[in-house]
Amino acid sequence: MAAIAITATGFQIFSTRRIFSCSRTMLPSNMMMDTNLTRQVKLSSSSCVSLVKPFPWSFISAPPKDNNVVTRAMANENDKNSVQGLSIDLRGKRAFIAGVADDNGYGWAIAKALAAAGAEILVGTWVPALNIFETSLRRGKFDESRRLSNGSLMEIAKVYPLDAVFDSLDDVPEDVKANKRYSGSSNWTVKDVAESVKNDFGSIDILVHSLANGPEVTKPLLETSRKGYLAALSASSYSFISLLQHFLPIINPGGATISLTYIASERSIPGYGGGMSSAKAALESDTRVLAFEAGRKKQIRVNTISAGPLGSRAAKAIGFIEKMIEYSYANGPLQKELLADEVGAAAAFLASPLASAVTGSVVYVDNGLNTMGLATDSPSLSV
């Protein structure tokens, strides 16, 4: 049994075993609490994502006093006004987001959310798309989508060329090395990029994997070649292992990693073929194993977000993304459009101290579609 007492100097939580107290004089600025946690997260500034104004808190323990169970809350008008809420504060943190090549995918939305929370942003862009991406940034074509809620623009500290299919230069075939789309870039393998980031910035705190590719994604699994199947796993799941393996030495202890998965990992999605469903299943399994290994090595958390369908340029390669979006809208418990910013907000939470005990998890951000077992327009369903 427990009791909470809120006073002008802080608050205390009483229990039959411990007394936890909090005073304002010892509270870190990045930890907050709120009496109304149902409010939606808004990207309120370039330095902090807040539910409401911050109220910092911390706990200290004291010996037990009694075994009585009492619940009470005490606050005067000043106390009520001072209890302000949780915030996501990533100031002083640095994030590397692999797989940003335009301004309308989940990778971009995650970068924007992390920037709004105060993190410094580095991105890795697929080599053939690098020139267009950097040119668009330089000419201001992304300025509107870079804009944060406070009017400032998201800043990208550096853009790195990256092809996460290749761990080192020794793995790159001669035809790729000779390809004119790669000729103007260097140091773009996973190993090279990790070393470049180390040389440029020293360390990072957040690693985001927003990569997927299946050259035979439009083929049914029964028609998928071995080469196509393995290519899907290499680009979409092993690439995350490789990134974490090479970046691990420069991720600060207590850091966080996030990847993106899809419900096809556990449900049959006809048309999402070429081994991509297998790659997403592998990614989720690897998330659990890597959570243990990276957690034991450096207290690094590993989570993946199972996001609903989004009409990004990359997703259009599937061929029926609009139908997937329509189906999700019609059959999800929350009948609304899924926004990339909602996935970005979830990623910001997972990267923050608020998720310090969350690791090895698949976090669904899909308007609840994953919970459904029958389409709402099915003749078998009458509601």
Active-site residue list: 262, 272
> Residue 112 and residue 68: Cα distance in Å, rounded?
49
Three-class secondary structure assignment of the chain: CEEEEEECCEEEEEECCCEEEEEHHHCCCCCEECCCCCCCCECCCCCCEECCCCCECCCEEECCCCCCCCCCCCCCHHHHHHCCECEECCCCCEEEEECCCCCCCHHHHHHHHHHHCCCEEEEEEEHHHHHHHHHHHHCCCCHHHHECCCCCECCEEEEEEECCCCCCHHHCCHHHHHCCCCCCCCCCCHHHHHHHHHHHHCCEEEEEECCCCCCCCCCCHHHCCHHHHHHHHHHHHHHHHHHHHHHHHHEEEEEEEEEEECHHHCCCCCCCCCCHHHHHHHHHHHHHHHHHHHHHHHCCEEEEEEECCCCCCCHHHHCCHHHHHHHHHHHCCCCCCCCHHHHHHHHHHHHCHHHCCCCCCEEEECCCHHHCCCCCCCCCCCC
Q: Tokens 């083929």 identify what position?
A: 219
HSE toward the beta carbon, residue 71, CA cutoff 13 A? 1
